[in-house]
């Protein structure tokens, strides 16, 4: 259902944010929100306007059992996206995939190489990325897409690096579905990428994330390994 | 309260399924959000339930945050508020007006309303100034609805006025609030 009249849209957005839009009207409004970005913006504006009222709410530490219950519900049955994954616990399949990646590389012998095997949620290797650490100037990532993969129309694949510590992800640019490709590392990231903890790939709108941070689902990820 | 940039960065890492970042996000924000849930629900066990649902929801939808273009706490608070309102309005939890009279009287701290906000930041001051310019009935119905999740019907019973009157207070009050905040 579309709300065409501006005054009605504004009034509904306000009462939705206030909490007085209820029952069937609230559910209908929520359905419209999903497909109407302008309406979502009106709601966001109202939420921001009223938000200072929450600043007066007294913070109360919730009992510890709440966090335990949340953890149980978000922790995956498999280990692929557990904390350990990011902190360096190697998966058996990753080891196998690293060997696969090494076999895919055509490198001068005895040179150090950074290798990332990015896997999907089932730990199946999907993309390998490798580069020469400590090489500055013309630094390139060799990207290999495993198997024949397709990208949905009007989307883009964006590659991200996760710096060490708790800093936010940094974009390395867009990649394609081509089996072999190279990505030129932006000058300001040439040193930082050698100490990256992990790489990830997210699905973004055409042209890449509008926000500078991953905004779509993360399809593949993998930790950086020095060989 | 943690720095909004810190919260936004933690959320970006949560979007990459970093569970440690999620733990930090919880540590930084849960007391605030539990406070919001408690204020609306008035019962610890319900507020715990809603908080748990909300964080699972935040984890599952955190990648949608950047599209929301709002402050990170506003985005998370909206999730908690919506969950709390849904909880309150499940048919078996409908309150009688007497309950609400008691509840509202039992919480004098938030009845301070606009004055308490003056001590806070610039946005809060603007809101407080504009709330002051509303009529008493408009201000009271809007703040009770927001702070305690009262419905039109519950407000009408609590304020002992016809439903239509209360609806008009809220509608006109919100219109005036917007006009006022756009000019300050």
For A104, A129, A133, A213, the CA distances from A108, given in Å and listed in that order, are 13, 17, 14, 35
Between chains, do A51 and B121 touch, taking CB under 8 Å as contact? no
**Is B80 in CB contact (< 8 Å) with chain A?**
no
Distance in angstroms (rounded) separating the CA atoms of residues A199 and A222: 6
For B69, B102, B110, B147, the CA distances from B106, given in Å and listed in that order, are 36, 6, 10, 14
- Residues in A touching B112 (Cβ below 8 Å): 56
- The whole-model pTM stands at 0.60
Would you tell me how many other CB atoms lie within 10 Å of the CB of residue B34? 25
Enter the tokens of residue B84. Answer: 């709390």
Distance in angstroms (rounded) separating the CA atoms of residues A130 and B171: 60
Nearest to B50 by CA among B79, B21, B75, B7: B79
Between chains, do B143 and A14 touch, taking CB under 8 Å as contact? no
Long-range residue pairs from A35-38, CB within 8 A, at least 24 positions apart, any chain: A36/A2, A36/A3
**Is A60 in CB contact (< 8 Å) with chain B?**
yes
For A99, A130, A219, the CA distances from A121, given in Å and listed in that order, are 20, 21, 8
Interface residue of B17, B89, B130, B147 to substitute, partner A, most A CBs within 10 Å: B17
Q: For residue range A177-205, what is the model confidence (pLDDT) as tens digits?
A: 888 888 888 888 888 899 898 999 998 88
Q: For residue range A143-188, what is the model confidence (pLDDT) as tens digits?
A: 988 877 888 888 889 999 998 877 888 999 999 888 888 888 888 8
Which CATH number among 2.60.40, 3.40.1620, 3.40.50, 1.10.1790 corresponds to the domain A83-226?
2.60.40
- Residues in A touching B39 (Cβ below 8 Å): 57
Residue numbers of B between 98 and 127 with CB closer than 8 Å to A: 109-110, 112, 116-117, 120-121, 123-124, 127
**Is B38 in CB contact (< 8 Å) with chain A?**
yes
Is A214 within 8 Å of A164 (Cβ atoms)?
no
Q: For residue range A57-79, what is the model confidence (pLDDT) as tens digits?
A: 788 999 999 999 999 888 764 44
Give domain limits for chain A. Answer: 6-55, 83-226
Spell out the domains of chain B, with CATH numbers in brackets. 1-94 (1.10.1740.10), 95-184 (1.10.10.10)
- Residues in A touching B38 (Cβ below 8 Å): 60
Number of helices followed by number of strands (H, E) in chain B: 12, 0
Size of interface A-B (CB pairs under 8 A): 187
Q: For residue range A119-152, what is the model confidence (pLDDT) as tens digits?
A: 887 777 889 898 888 877 778 898 988 877 888 8
Mean pLDDT of B17-21: 89
Distance in angstroms (rounded) separating the CA atoms of residues B169 and B179: 15
**Is B149 in CB contact (< 8 Å) with chain A?**
yes
3-state helix, strand, coil in chain A (%, to 5): 35, 25, 40
Between chains, do A52 and B149 touch, taking CB under 8 Å as contact? no
């Amino acid at each position: 259902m579309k709300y065409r009249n501006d005054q009605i849209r504004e009034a509904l957005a306000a009462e939705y944010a206030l909490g007085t839009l209820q029952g069937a009207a609230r559910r209908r409004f929520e359905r419209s929100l999903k497909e109407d970005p302008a309406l979502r913006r009106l709601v966001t504006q109202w939420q921001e306007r009223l938000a200072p009222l929450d600043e007066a709410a007294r913070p109360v530490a919730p009992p510890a059992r709440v966090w335990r219950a949340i953890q149980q519900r978000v922790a995956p049955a498999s280990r692929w996206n557990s904390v350990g994954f990011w902190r360096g616990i190697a998966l058996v399949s990753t080891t196998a995939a690293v060997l696969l990646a090494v076999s895919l590389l055509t490198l001068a012998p005895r040179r150090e190489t950074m290798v990332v095997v990015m896997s999907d949620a089932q730990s199946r290797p999907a993309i390998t990325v490798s580069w020469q650490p400590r090489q500055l100037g013309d630094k390139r990532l060799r990207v290999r897409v495993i198997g024949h993969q397709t990208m949905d129309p009007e989307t883009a694949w964006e590659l991200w690096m996760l710096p060490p510590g708790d800093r936010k992800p940094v974009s390395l640019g867009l990649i394609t579905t081509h089996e072999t490709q190279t990505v030129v590392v932006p000058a300001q990231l040439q040193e930082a990428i050698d100490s990256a903890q992990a790489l990830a790939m997210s699905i973004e709108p055409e042209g890449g994330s509008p926000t500078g941070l991953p905004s779509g689902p993360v399809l593949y990820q993998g930790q950086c390994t020095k060989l | 309260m943690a720095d909004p940039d810190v919260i936004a960065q933690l959320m970006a890492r949560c979007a990459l399924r970093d569970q440690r970042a999620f733990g930090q996000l919880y540590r930084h924000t849960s007391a605030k959000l539990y406070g919001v849930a408690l204020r609306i629900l008035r019962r610890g066990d319900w507020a715990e339930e809603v908080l748990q649902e909300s964080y699972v929801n935040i984890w599952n939808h955190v990648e949608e945050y950047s599209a929301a273009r709002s402050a990170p706490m506003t985005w998370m608070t909206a999730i908690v508020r919506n969950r709390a309102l849904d909880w309150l309005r499940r048919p078996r939890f409908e309150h009688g007006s007497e309950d609400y009279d008691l509840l509202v009287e039992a919480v004098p701290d938030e009845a301070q309303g606009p004055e308490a906000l003056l001590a806070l930041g610039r946005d809060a001051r603007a809101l407080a100034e504009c709330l002051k310019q509303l009529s008493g009935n408009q201000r009271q119905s809007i703040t009770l609805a927001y702070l305690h999740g009262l419905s039109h019907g519950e407000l009408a019973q609590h304020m002992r006025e016809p439903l239509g009157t209360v609806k008009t207070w809220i509608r006109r009050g919100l219109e005036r609030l917007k006009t006022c905040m756009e000019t300050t």
